[in-house]
């Protein structure tokens, strides 16, 4: 019974729920970015580079030549799918750039914590003004 209560308390914490929501939104965002790369960005880039479809670029490790990646997979040939890897790298770069922009904007909006108004005298441990150079309680010089 204690384990169930501990688990309920763990799940009910705000940061766990926030993390779960972030993971779900991140997964959905990843699908959008993958579609953006595969369906919007890569076709024009492939056209500019001589009608190359990056998702179909592969090397058959058995030495045979196949007309397409699908044909190689149907034949059971081991392949290195470097075109899919290129698409994944572009996916990652877009996601990383968007996260960078979001974090930069959040840091711009969220106020920075104010400097403390007081500090502690190292000699008598009394609270004194942060800008003080001499303690009013024990008259010690403050560096």
On whether both 44 and 104 belong to a single domain, the answer is yes
* Three-point CA angle 99, 104, 107, nearest 5°: 125
Residue 59 belongs to domain spanning: 2-112
- Tell me: the pLDDT tens digits for 118-133? 999 988 999 999 888 9
- Tell me: the pLDDT tens digits for 59-98? 899 989 898 888 999 999 999 999 889 888 888 888 888 8
Residue 11 tokens, joined: 């799940």
On whether both 76 and 106 belong to a single domain, the answer is yes
On whether both 99 and 139 belong to a single domain, the answer is no
Contact yes or no for 78/60 (Cβ under 8 A): yes
On whether both 134 and 95 belong to a single domain, the answer is no
On whether both 8 and 55 belong to a single domain, the answer is yes
- Tell me: the pLDDT tens digits for 7-16? 877 777 767 7
Total domains in the chain come to 2
On whether both 125 and 74 belong to a single domain, the answer is no
Contact yes or no for 80/57 (Cβ under 8 A): no
In this structure, is the dihedral angle defined by the CA atoms of residues 58, 62, 68 and 73, taken in order, positive or negative?
Answer: negative
On whether both 76 and 39 belong to a single domain, the answer is yes
On whether both 81 and 139 belong to a single domain, the answer is no
On whether both 80 and 120 belong to a single domain, the answer is no
Residue 101 gets the label, from left (phi > 0), alpha (psi -120 to 50) or beta, of alpha
- Tell me: the pLDDT tens digits for 17-60? 778 888 888 888 888 888 888 788 888 887 887 877 777 889 89
Does the model's pTM come out above 0.75? no
Contact yes or no for 98/53 (Cβ under 8 A): no
């Amino acid at each position: 019974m204690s384990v169930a209560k501990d688990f309920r308390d763990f799940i009910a914490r705000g940061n766990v729920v926030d993390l779960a929501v972030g993971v779900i939104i991140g997964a959905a965002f990843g699908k959008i970015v993958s579609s953006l790369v595969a369906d919007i960005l890569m076709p024009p880039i492939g056209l500019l580079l001589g009608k190359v479809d990056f998702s179909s670029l592969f090397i058959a490790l058995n030495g045979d030549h196949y007309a397409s990646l699908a044909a190689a997979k149907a034949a059971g040939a081991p392949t290195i799918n470097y075109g899919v890897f290129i698409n994944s790298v572009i996916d990652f770069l877009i996601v990383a750039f968007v996260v960078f922009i979001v974090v930069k904007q959040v840091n711009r909006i969220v106020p920075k914590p104010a400097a403390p108004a007081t500090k502690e005298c190292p000699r008598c441990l009394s609270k004194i003004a942060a800008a003080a150079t001499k303690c009013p309680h024990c008259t010690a010089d403050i560096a």
